[in-house]
């Protein structure tokens, strides 16, 4: 998922937000709701935002979904622009574009 940090808020780009699909995979829909539940702002058709206070929970959740084997690494990895330092708490679930 492509992300960026703005004013100490982590943003997942709207095109990379996992979709909710009625009747879809239970794991994918659980992933959608888990991410949405810890976001501070998660509108339809816009970037989702996460306060610094939940970054450790976000990292743990992404790692758990990655290790489950049901979702691909590309779906659970935070991809930062190369000119952005990756915060320590998110380093284990992040890479550069």
The encoded tokens of residue 36 equal 């949405």
- Nearest-5° Cα angle at 40, 39 to 46: 80
How would you write the pLDDT of the chain (97 residues) with one tens digit per residue? 999 999 999 999 999 999 999 999 999 999 999 999 999 999 999 999 999 999 999 999 999 999 999 898 889 999 999 999 999 999 999 999 8
Quote the pTM value.
Answer: 0.92
Cα dihedral 21→22→23→26 (10° resolution): 60
Q: Where are the alpha helices (DSSP H) in the chain?
A: 26-38, 55-68, 73-76
Going by their DSSP bridges, the two strands 78-80 and 94-96 should be labelled as parallel
Q: Is 57 exposed, middle or buried (0-12, 13-18, 19+ CB in 10 A)?
A: middle
CA distance 60 to 12: 16
């Amino acid at each position: 998922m492509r992300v960026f940090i703005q004013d100490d808020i982590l943003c997942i780009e709207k095109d990379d937000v996992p979709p909710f699909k009625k009747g879809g995979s239970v794991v994918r829909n659980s992933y959608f709701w888990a991410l949405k539940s810890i976001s501070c702002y998660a509108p339809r058709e816009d970037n989702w935002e996460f306060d610094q206070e939940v970054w450790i929970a976000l990292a743990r959740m992404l790692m758990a979904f990655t290790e489950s084997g049901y979702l691909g690494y590309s779906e659970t990895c935070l991809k930062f622009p190369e000119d952005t330092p990756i915060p320590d708490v998110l380093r284990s679930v992040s890479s550069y574009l």
